[in-house]
């Protein structure tokens, strides 16, 4: 899989001319102008479009929950998947509001759902192993998760893919990945997740630090992903890589989704050209993770739910960026005088 950078001097200049010729002062639509140019470079055209936007929500369980790192029991993962299937979660509400397709994926939940309408069964195993004791997954399991994610992304018909997740314990996995891939101290990577006390956060930090010491010899991105990641995180990374290869816009949600992107970006740095960062999560560490990637998030709403909620809420801003390019009058067409020299 090879992702091409979007850089194109000729197209970039053409997009600049299109944006600057709209009936507005130069730069006055701010980040929307930056976004429009990015979408144009991804799509290789000045005729921008948003077609069939979809959000993939990957669910998986984590063996490290046995170390007491979450405020909620592991059963909440499968119970929330049932909530997604019953159309009752926040992501269902927001996806409906935005007219966005929603795909729920069992990447590795510790529960048997059986054949269910609306659920993609790509279960690699019934949750990862406890990375405080041993690698979370084998190299083969990690490769299978990446391949499943790529296949799911390849089957999506539209040109915008948002990412979300569900998995009790996955902020612990994401914090471990963040530390290993960025070198940022564990204490700055760890947050409250679903609502840990200060004492709980400190315990989570110590669990990660001990696990990092146990797996100290692992440093390559795929090795780090297998040692500390979750099946939902690995599957997201595979889906991101494939979606970018297909020149789709990637909508990146919060802390856990961004940890999957960290892995993908270490494998294929050009993937960042395709990423629109929906928001800065309230989960401690996400801002530092975004800074490490040189990312500028669109929203800052104090969100820390996951599920792809930030991806859904950012979608109207993508549509606005596309619409002003396609529908707004030019100075010439509206017979509006341009700025005096």
User: 85, exposed or middle or buried, with CB in 10 Å at 0-12, 13-18, 19+?
Assistant: middle
Phi and psi, residue 309, nearest 5°: -60, -40
Look up 165 and say whether it is catalytic.
no
CA distance 137 to 58: 17
Distance of CA 51 to the CA centre of its chain: 19
HSE-CB at 273 with a 13 A cutoff on CA atoms is 20
What pLDDT shows up at residue 195? 85
The answer to whether 107 touches 59, Cβ cutoff 8 Å, is: yes
278: CB partners within 8 A, 6+ apart: 162, 251, 252, 253, 254, 297, 298, 299, 310, 311, 313, 314
The answer to whether 78 touches 168, Cβ cutoff 8 Å, is: no
183: CB partners within 8 A, 6+ apart: none
pTM: 0.96
pLDDT by residue for the chain (341 residues), tens digit each?
799 999 999 999 999 999 999 999 999 999 999 999 999 999 999 999 999 999 999 999 999 999 999 999 999 999 999 999 999 999 999 999 999 999 999 999 999 999 999 999 999 999 999 999 999 999 999 999 999 999 999 999 999 999 999 999 999 999 999 999 999 999 999 988 878 899 989 999 999 999 999 999 999 999 999 999 999 999 999 999 999 999 999 999 999 999 999 999 999 999 999 999 999 999 989 999 999 999 999 999 999 999 999 999 999 999 999 999 999 999 888 777 777 66
What pLDDT shows up at residue 334? 75
What pLDDT shows up at residue 108? 98
DSSP state of 46: S
CA distance 313 to 278: 8
What pLDDT shows up at residue 340? 67
Question: CA distances (Å), 341 to each of 62, 157, 162, 337, 338, in order?
Answer: 62, 47, 43, 11, 9
What pLDDT shows up at residue 266? 98
Ramachandran category for residue 280: left, alpha or beta (phi over 0 → left; psi -120 to 50 → alpha):
beta
What pLDDT shows up at residue 303? 95
The strand order across the sheet containing 160-166 reads 119-121, 101-108, 54-60, 160-166, 249-252, 275-277
Token readout for 79 is 């119970």
The residue from 245, 307, 332, 341 that is catalytic is 307
């Amino acid at each position: 899989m090879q992702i091409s950078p979007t850089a194109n001097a000729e197209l970039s200049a053409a997009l600049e001319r299109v944006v600057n010729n709209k009936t507005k002062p130069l730069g006055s639509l701010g980040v929307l102008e930056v976004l429009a140019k990015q979408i144009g470079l991804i799509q290789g055209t000045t005729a921008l479009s948003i077609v069939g936007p979809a959000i993939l929500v990957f669910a998986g369980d984590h063996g490290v929950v046995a170390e007491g790192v979450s405020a909620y029991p592991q059963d909440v993962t499968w119970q929330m998947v049932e909530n997604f299937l019953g159309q009752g979660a926040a992501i269902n509400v927001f996806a409906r509001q935005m007219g966005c397709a929603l795909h729920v994926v069992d990447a590795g939940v510790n529960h048997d759902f059986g054949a269910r309408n609306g659920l993609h069964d790509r279960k690699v195993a019934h949750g990862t192993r406890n990375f405080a004791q041993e690698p979370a997954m084998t190299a083969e399991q990690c490769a299978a998760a990446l391949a499943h994610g790529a296949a799911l992304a390849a089957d999506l018909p539209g040109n915008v893919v948002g990412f979300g997740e569900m998995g009790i314990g996955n902020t612990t996995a994401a914090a471990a990945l963040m530390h290993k891939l960025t070198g940022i101290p564990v204490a700055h990577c760890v947050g409250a997740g679903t609502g840990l006390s200060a004492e709980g956060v400190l315990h989570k930090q110590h669990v990660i630090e001990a696990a990092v010491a146990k797996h100290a010899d692992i440093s390559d991105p795929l090795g780090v992903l297998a040692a500390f990641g979750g099946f939902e995180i690995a599957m997201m990374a595979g889906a991101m890589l494939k979606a970018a290869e297909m020149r789709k816009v990637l909508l990146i949600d919060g802390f856990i989704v961004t940890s999957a992107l960290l892995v993908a970006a270490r494998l294929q740095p050009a993937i960042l050209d395709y990423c629109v960062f929906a928001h800065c999560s309230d989960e401690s560490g996400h801002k530092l993770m975004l800074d490490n990637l040189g990312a500028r998030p669109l929203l800052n709403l104090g969100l820390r739910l996951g599920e792809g909620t930030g991806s859904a809420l950012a979608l109207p801003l993508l549509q606005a960026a596309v619409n002003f390019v396609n529908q707004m009058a030019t100075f010439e067409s509206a017979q509006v005088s341009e700025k005096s020299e």
